[in-house]
Amino acid sequence: MRANLSLHEINIGMFVDTHSHIYSSEFSLDRDEVIARAVSVGIGRIVLPNIDSSSLKPMLDLTDSVPGLFFPLIGLHPTSVKEDFRKELQILEYWMGKRKFYGIGEIGIDLYWDKSFLEEQIEAFRIQIGWAKKAQLPIVIHVRDSFSEVFEVLREEYSAELKGVFHSFTGTIDQAKQVTDLGFKIGVNGILTFKKSGMDEVIKQINLKYLVIETDSPWLAPAPHRGRRNESSYLTNIADKLALLHNTSTKEIAKITTKNAQELFDL
């Protein structure tokens, strides 16, 4: 149960889930129920990061099915960067001219699953940051065992207008400061509620103006749902935990993180 937010306090649309893959096949049997539960706890907007050319259609079909709820991004996920990444990027670039997207994502570098395409990952990351700068869109960055590699590219490609978020942040306080010094946001998800993650110590030291919240569903369900499929309605568990750490109310967390998300993605 949510700790400090009673039902009558919920304003419809108070939260933004800034990272959900609800268009994925994990939700094909009960997607409508999942959406209804999210709306009923106050999730008013859900940002959809893309993976590669194969996820575009399900993501855009879902976006069109419930007007005003979903905000799609476009980008090639680092774990989908293989030999054919230039062809993938070509397809995505074609779609960029066809539809409205709210950011470039998710992009970045992942050295946890596979290191063999590091050069390609760096190149794809660089190219897509270029798209973001040209289209004046924010970037949603995926980092896994790759903070220094990501930061090196980001420093080289940086321009004052470039903005974005380090989604699913799991770094140190020093790394968090590097992110916020650059003016980037930190995406907080269920990992914050995991007992041994140590993220509570880091996140409680970060000014709320730098934070956005996300589920990353279907992955990383927060406590007490840990280990199960994640969904947007569990965002309230993350907001509750954040409120506790920052000694404030869940309502205040909703207000600040929603404002941050609106500004970042121009929602």
Q: What angle do CA 176, 182, 186 make, to 5 degrees?
A: 40
Cβ neighbours of 151 (radius 10 Å) = 19
Nearest distance, CB of residue 173 and Zn ion, angstroms = 24
Peptide bond before residue 214 is cis, with ω within 30 degrees of 0: no
What is the distance between the terminal CA atoms of the chain, rounded to a whole angstrom? 29
User: CB-wise, 49 or 58, nearer to Zn ion?
Assistant: 49
User: CB-wise, 42 or 49, nearer to Zn ion?
Assistant: 49
Count of helices and strands (H, E) across the chain: 9, 8
Residue 154 CA to residue 133 CA, distance in Å, equals: 12
* Binding footprint of Zn ion, residue count (CB under 5 A): 1
Residue 20 CA to residue 72 CA, distance in Å, equals: 10
User: CB-wise, 21 or 241, nearer to Zn ion?
Assistant: 21
User: CB-wise, 49 or 72, nearer to Zn ion?
Assistant: 49
User: CB-wise, 49 or 108, nearer to Zn ion?
Assistant: 49
Which of helix, strand or coil describes residue 3? coil
Nearest distance, CB of residue 218 and Zn ion, angstroms = 10
In the range 4-63, which residues lie near Zn ion by CB under 5 A? 49
Nearest distance, CB of residue 11 and Zn ion, angstroms = 27
Nearest distance, CB of residue 189 and Zn ion, angstroms = 10
Nearest distance, CB of residue 21 and Zn ion, angstroms = 6
Q: Binding residues for Zn ion, per CB under 5 A?
A: 49
